[in-house]
Amino acid sequence: MSKILLQPMVEAIEESSLPSAWTGLDLETFSHAKMLRDYQQAALRNARNALWKYYEAFVDYQLGEPLALNEQRKA
């Protein structure tokens, strides 16, 4: 059986370490009449944390930087 790697990593990310733009989401309410269950909220938190971790290290090409550096990042 495969070892689960991503789940422990994203569950270890504290919500307080995320920027406020990533934490202001209402994870309890799906609509006016429906509430999400605990396991659904946990799945959304994990997805949010995984996306934040992915984009945290993402660096765009900066104006004036050597093109070779940008190519090295893409490799």
- The reported pLDDT for the residue numbered 42 is 96
Query: Could you state, in order of their start, the residue ranges of all structural domains in the chain?
Result: 24-54
CB atoms within 10 A of CB 39: 8
The answer to whether residues 48 and 19 touch, using CB atoms and an 8 Å cutoff, is no
Low-confidence stretches of the chain (pLDDT beneath 50): none
The pLDDT tens digits of the residues spanning 43-59 come to 999 999 999 988 887 77
> How confident is the model at residue 75, as a pLDDT?
64
Give the tokens for residue 52: 């934040």
> Which residues are bridge partners to 29 per DSSP?
35
